[in-house]
Amino acid sequence: MKKYITILLLIVIIPGLLSAKQFAKVGTAAFQFLKLGVDARAIGMGEAYTAVTDDASSVYWNPAGLAVNMENSQIFVSHTLYVADIAHDYLVVSKPTGLGAFALGLQMLHMPYMDVYEEDSFDVPTGETFTCYDFAASVSYANAFTDKFNFGFTAKYIREGLDEYATNNFSFDLGTIYNTGWNNLIVGMSLRNFGPDMEYTIDDDNDGQYDEDPFDLLDNDGDGLIDEDRKEMKYKIPMNFSLGLSMDIISNEKTKWIASFQIDNTVDRLETYNLGTEYKVGIFSLRTGYQFGYDVAGLSAGFGVFIPVRFGKIAIDYSYSQFGDLQESAMQTPMRLSLKILY
């Protein structure tokens, strides 16, 4: 069965990627926050994580990873502080059962309120304020169909708000993990953010109705006016296909060293490549990685500690990554912290 599912995913996905035109479609996708990676462990490894993920953060990277560790319920919290006080928060609660692993997730990109300025001068505040946000809620399921093959999926509700305007959408993620059994060599694949195009609904004439007369030169609503609301453009959501490999270089009771590689193909950019590694000694871990083909991303690094406690285990991770021209110094970079509680 594992063989047939893997072949099916390759048949459906790979031809579309190979036939895609090789030019960057920058600015053509909405809901960009769905591309913001989570988990300081994953970021520290250069986001080469599709084949590595094995805990509650799998909800983002590859839902099949939820079924790798079926021994513990987990709570995962991730916080990232970007420039201009923009924050990205992610929360997942997962639970293994006899039917498989289930998880609920919430994520939000948010920022402080900002002043509204006069349209003519752009330097005189009106006294009004506004903000914008992105939000997603998800439910995931994964199961181990054999001792080597896992499959999982996620369904997401997505919402974006900009001042008084908002739009809603939904998407799905699919993922597989196959362990070859040789040096823990793992092949991971995930298709993320597969769903319909996004479209804002805007009432241009403020009469409480939407898209009344879109470009047909007819008074469809009988109020004597023509083409009151313009037809809003549709935007794709950032669908992404990831193919990853990971394996153990060293693995014993005290030390573990893994290396990973990943290829990403997203609808609004060219292919990107990620390399990552993690070296673990006892309860401490060191990580580094590099991302190729990104505008602002490059080197990343991080560390973590895995602490046994009375009720289970706690993992605390931190990561650093370069942020290109958006950082004036080495310290002005997104601060990423994550916490995992296994109980």
The pLDDT score that the predictor gives to residue 23 is 55
The pLDDT score that the predictor gives to residue 248 is 95
> Count of alpha carbons within 13 Å of 64, Cβ hemisphere only?
29
Q: Which amino acid is at 100?
A: G
Q: pLDDT tens-digit profile of 37-64?
A: 999 999 999 999 999 999 999 999 999 9
What is the spatial distance between Cα 289 and Cα 297, in angstroms, rounded to a whole number? 11
Q: Are the beta carbons of 128 and 116 closer than 8 angstroms?
A: yes
Mean pLDDT for 160-173 is 88
Q: How many CB atoms lie within 10 A of CB 304?
A: 21
Q: pLDDT tens-digit profile of 99-112?
A: 999 999 999 999 88
Task: Give the list of residues 6+ apart from residue 131 with CB closer than 8 angstroms, or none.
Answer: 110, 111, 112, 113, 114, 163
Q: Please state which of the ranges 3-7, 114-118, 282-286 shows the lowest mean pLDDT.
A: 3-7
Helix (H, G, I), strand (E, B) or coil at 326: helix
Cα separations in angstroms, 171 against 31, 96, 209: 11, 24, 27
Residue whose C-alpha is closest to residue 251's, from 277, 281, 286, 288: 281
pLDDT reading at 331 higher than 60: no
- Domains, the chain, ordered by start: 2-7+21-197+236-342 (2.40.160.60)
Q: What is the separation of C-alpha 121 from the centre of its chain, rounded to a whole number of angstroms? A: 38
Residue 341 tokens, joined: 């509680």
Strand 100-110, strand 132-144: pairing: antiparallel
Q: What is the separation of C-alpha 331 from the centre of its chain, rounded to a whole number of angstroms? A: 24
Average pLDDT, the chain: 84
Cα separations in angstroms, 122 against 6, 126, 127, 300: 55, 10, 13, 38
What is the spatial distance between Cα 178 and Cα 176, in angstroms, rounded to a whole number? 7
Strand 272-281, strand 255-266: pairing: antiparallel
The pLDDT score that the predictor gives to residue 268 is 83
Q: Are the beta carbons of 46 and 290 closer than 8 angstroms?
A: yes
- Look at 210 and 42; give whichever has higher pLDDT: 42
Helix (H, G, I), strand (E, B) or coil at 66: helix
The DSSP call for residue 29 is B
What is the spatial distance between Cα 275 and Cα 48, in angstroms, rounded to a whole number? 6
pLDDT reading at 36 higher than 80: yes
What is the spatial distance between Cα 72 and Cα 9, in angstroms, rounded to a whole number? 29
The DSSP call for residue 62 is -
What is the spatial distance between Cα 34 and Cα 138, in angstroms, rounded to a whole number? 12
The pLDDT score that the predictor gives to residue 12 is 47
DSSP string, 141-189: EEEESSSSEEEEEEEEEEEEEETTEEEEEEEEEEEEEEE-SSTT-EEEE
